[in-house]
Structure 1
Amino acid sequence: MRSKLLIGRNPILIQYMLPYIAILLIPLSIGWITYEQTVHMVKEEVVKSNMTLLEQSKEILDRRLEEVENFAHQLMSDSKVVSFQYLKDPYKGSNTYRIVETRERLKAYKTSSNFIFNYYILFKNSNLVLSSNSTYKLVDFYEHFIQPQSSDYDSWYEHYLGRFHHREYLPAQPFQFSGNPYSMVTYIHSLGYPNYFNGVLMVLIQNEEIKNLFSGLDTSNGGWAYIADEQGKIISFVSNNQQVAPINFNGQLEQGVIERTLNGQEYMITYTTSKQNQWRYVVGQPSHIVLEKVHYLKEITMNFMFIALIVGLAVAAVLAYQNSRPIKKLVSMITERYEGRYSLSESGGTYGFIQNTLATLFKSNEELRNKIKEQVPVLRGILIENLIKGGFKTEKEIENILEHVGMSVHGRRYVVCILDLGPFDIVLNEDILNAMDEKRVMIKEILSYYLDGFGFIHDIDQDKIAILVALDLDDDEKCRVHVNQLLGQISEEIRHTLIFHPFFAVGGIYDQWLDISLSFVEAREVLHMRSKGINETILWINDLPNTGESYYYPVDLETRLMNFARAGAKEETLKLVQELYRVNFVEKHLSRAMLLLFLSELWGSVVKLVDQVNVAQTWEELRPFITGLRESEDPQILFSNIEHALVVMCEEVNQRKKSRNVQLIDSIIEFIQSRYINPDLCLSTISEKFQISEVYLSQFFKEQTGINFSDYLERIRMDRSKELLASTNMSVYEIATEVGYLSSNTFGRAFKRINGLSASAYRRSLDNPR
């Protein structure tokens, strides 16, 4: 009586009971289905499941292949790639620069997709292979990186470069890359035309990514699945025994199910065809395996049907009561929170009530997210990331970028702090990630409030935020005190608001923009040391114990050093080298053996630079220093030799760059003087002609001539117009057209603005001199 009364007074419990009762009726209904009907149903389900998965796999792969072909089209249409394929002597004169320039352009096409393993462009004329991060000769590329196990070099060369390929996919085959085996599907497309081609683009697609599309298919007990192209060649397959033969589908529809006898065994084969490229997606399963599942399903159903019926009602009552309690509490909490704003009866029941409430919350949350997005400009994020990670080569480059994006960094000194939000050593799911995102947004709001225009924040990891603080102080100790006070306030606010203890890793204080990345590297070193047992809320790089166990030459600093040297930034290179000297020779108490290891790695960077920038003359000049590195026993002398080598290299790079700049500006000026009468002449026209960006062209032109491009072009047109006004009887309209203006009004305004009088008045002044 009490339970009936409880159910009658609890509509939420009734709503939970009904689904359980409905579920209990399902086994009873299944028990009355005949065996033949069960067979038919299961077959349909297997076919439907297979077909659904095949269709999904087809759609996914079609999109991926379309991305590959679009990626390939963009890459082959690039002007640098088109120009490079005609290059026959890549190491002659300035052609070497074209190798570097083309490879730099390829970096813009670097993809983060796991589907594409890598891509390479094989050029016949230059006998080179280029990718986004490497350059090889064809034979070296074949022997050491991507050597198919089943062909020699001549066969490989003839297959790839001896004939024309048009959007061709090669079946999966074993490859060796850097000594490791891989299975790759290769997309190849020739550069050029069928009767005239100069190379081929080779995109390597990981076969495992394609095979993963079949992960939901049951290929056990003799089952298999494969993808075949329009000619019937198997591109990729999944099978336990590794033996799969293509099925002949002559006369069949584009998709369906057929039964075939293969090797004396009946198979049920499901297939579909891509309309995009006519590839077939096929899965085959032994028929008796499918029927075994039917028998097993029937047996299990009949055995447990009655047990489930008896126990089900009791379990349903208990589960319904337990599951309804949280919902009931939630409804009660919402009702109390909104003080009767929502009514359970007016909202269409329990779920309608919760749905209306959640809809309001979601709307508020979406508005909050949109406001947050508006406050985080993309350009500022990119700039801050490059500042802290050393993406710039010179101070001038940073100034130009800041001016271009309309952004200023106030302060005379800079320090980078890393806020550690972790540890996150749990399995991440969508709910946890959403909670982490909300937590990070709240922390960013706190940081923005306390930084108040004198700092910037940037996400560097899921659980770490970089903070760039600009300080308007001269003394290092005052800067340190100010930063400690600031981080202390932020830490206290985070503890109070989010109830967790943050950790701040702080790098060194520097007065140059280029050194901001050094501060970031030092802050990351602090994080590493903290993970070894140092437990502080705020920890500076100078507070770390000096163990002297190993030398200081992180990968980030090596990358920056090589970037500076390649750019010919002599002052920045020397400054970075002196920083390495200070840390390794002064601050750390390294053994002589450890110093020699450090110097050996530093010299290795110099050797790599000589090879990358192709400074053969510098290499001859540095040969005496190689002997010094082998014979000298004084690390100080070794370091001085390396420093001198870097200086010599920077000077030669600058000399080469200066020579190229003179040639380039002369060519640009000659181009302007020959085409200034064209009204459409602009920065875009010249940048397209000389294959350089408009931003760089504008900066380069002003640096070389001391005048803006637009002012220079206007000066040429004005000088020519004054010559025509003085020496001819041409009308003002004819002269305007002759010097590159679309209308006489535009010409007249420009002439008066520059010369102080109209064109007609200027001509009269020549006829009637005072």
Structure 2
Amino acid sequence: MPKYTTIFRKFLVSYLIILIIPSIAGYVSYRTSISVTQSISIENSVTQLQRSQEILERRMVEVEGFTRQLALNPDLNKLMNEQKKGDEINVYGIWSMVKQVTPFSQTNDFLQNYFIYLKNYDVIFTQGSAYFRPEHYYQNFHYTDLSLDEWKDEVLGKTHSSEMMPLRSFLSNKKQSSVVTYMQSLPLDSFNGSSPATVVVMIDEEHISNLLAGLEDRYGGWAHISDAQGNTIGVRGITEAAARQLSTSTELDQTKRSQFYHDDLVITIQSDTSGWTYRAGIPRQVLMENANQIKHMTWMVTGIALVLGLLAGLLLAYRNSVPINRLLGVMKEHFGKDGLAERNEYDFLQGNISKMITSNRQLELELERQLPLVRDGFLKRLLAGEFHTLEEIAAAAAQADVSLAGGEGYVGILRINGYSGMDSIDILKELSAARLIMKQALSETEGNLLMTELGSDRLVMIWLEQGEQTSGTDFRKRLDEGLTGLARTAYSEYKVSLSAAFGECFHTLMDVSHSYEQAGQTLEYTELSGMQSILWFSDSSRETATYYYPLDMEQRLISTIRAGEPEEAKRIVSTVMDKNSDQHQLSPEMKQQLVGELKGTLLKLLDQKALVQSELLHTLKNQMIGIQAADMLPDIQQEINGIIEALCGIINSKKNSAHIQTAGDIKRFIAESYSDSELTLYRIAEKVERPEKYISQLFKEVTDMNVSDYLEMVRIERAASLLRTEGCTVDEIASRVGYNSSHSFRRAFKRVMGVAPSSYRQSIHI
């Protein structure tokens, strides 16, 4: 029990030290954070004011951009440069401009109150209305401190270049407000005493003040904006008189960005672009309130953390000491001795755990010794063709620590001659020694060689090559020379006679079993014929009385024709014919059976629905039946190829017909639903019950147009018809043909027809 108490105490002291160190660091951080909090608050306030400045200047840039857009407007340029003839006024041109400038008031709240003055017509027009006498406009909209004549002289009569009028009282439809006025003469290069046109934008002071509301709402402070001459542009949370007094105070350093003035933190920013001065004030108590909150919260959290840390230390010390105490008990029980009297707990555990690690390493060595058995089992499965995918092969190879780089090569069987049918103990020992010698010799000569034993007198060899043409004569020659030398050495030194047989080259690991079967057939052939000790499958004579047309080849031919691939189907037929011509000496009876099998394969395909409905069904059936076994194989192949071409042509034609029908369904659905603005490719695909990507590609192949382009074409054609026959407005037509906005309709119409809708309608009536 005293030992257990010692372990608990050691853990507890460690946790207390860990708890005290960060507490000291936290106290230092707390003292630092108090001093930094004030500067952070100041920086946040500066950032807030800078953001308000950026937004305001960006809005003013938009206002300036508005005047530049007007300066580039060809209709306005034409209108303001017209010469007035008597009392005639270009009412249509003015109405058109009123319609064009009206949307601008919806994009920027700074543009809600503006007018454009045309000197030649003495006309003022605003969003939605025009005043053919400035006096009429003045009656509803005027500065309270400017008479009509003064207003005409200062605003309408002078040339202005991005000129700002400071905050003034303004009466708008008998509603009193304060506005800042932006004035720009048109064209922009007007520098003489007068200009053809003047754009005047009255910006409500409330809109400017709203940009400064964050400082008042968040901090309870105030903000003031003045121009380069000290005139007020906007004010929030303070009177204009107090703001002017502050700007002229000698106690305030005008060059500092942030400073304390009485009980306020005053922030001053000078704009480099407009020359305006942005000044904001934040009460001192707001800044100190945040610091005090941090102070109180820090002490509270620190106290709670110390208490919880102490409790956690007690809990963790107990929790971590208990497993060690239990482990000590288990060690004492299993090892049957008490070493704690001379050593501490950890030395005792270290000694016994070291013994366990040593035992574990011995077990690992034993598993490594079993690795050859795992590798041998993998190779036997590979040769037997038990793997179904390359992924299975790769996983099993990794487990067996076998490298399969390259993926192509040869399979060979090496046989020790003269021991067939002998199974005495001495013979088996002699064969085991011979196999071991052969393995060592082969491993020394070939680095990429995999070997496994087959019975008592055979070795199976798998050569894997990387970056080399394994099917070339050079590689075969190298293998022949190596194995011939091995056979010569084995016979001269050990009196062991060897024979070897190789299958054809495999180009994927899935074909290893096929190459192995060929090697086995070749080895049997050497036994029966008594030929040379090293023989390749391709060199052995394999004449047979039957024909070559395996079942898997027939299935591949059927599936290829059903897929409508004539070239691949003809290649399969060519392979069958070549095999039967070059490697099989067919008797007339076998040739007749082969032709019958091929005819049967083709006749099976006639059950296809696409072929049953074809007019060529009986013609093709008669052609198949009419193939004569007495003809030469090349002639038979040519006839079969012709039938394959016809079958694939019918199948592909049916596919194309189905595609054309689907495209027609799409066209009909578009013709019925083009007026729906929610018509999308997804809805079209849902209607024809096909995937979106499928119908998009199919429609493109059939019509040489995208679905979206076709839909746009249908809509524009219908719109053109409405423009020719009905008196609807452009906006109404846009809605009727499926467009959400007239703007997008106009762009689409001009893209397709080359002219705007209004121009198209005018050209029809000419």
TM-score, normalised to structure 1, is: 0.37
The structure number with the bigger radius of gyration is 2
Higher relative contact order (CA 8 A, sep 6+): 1
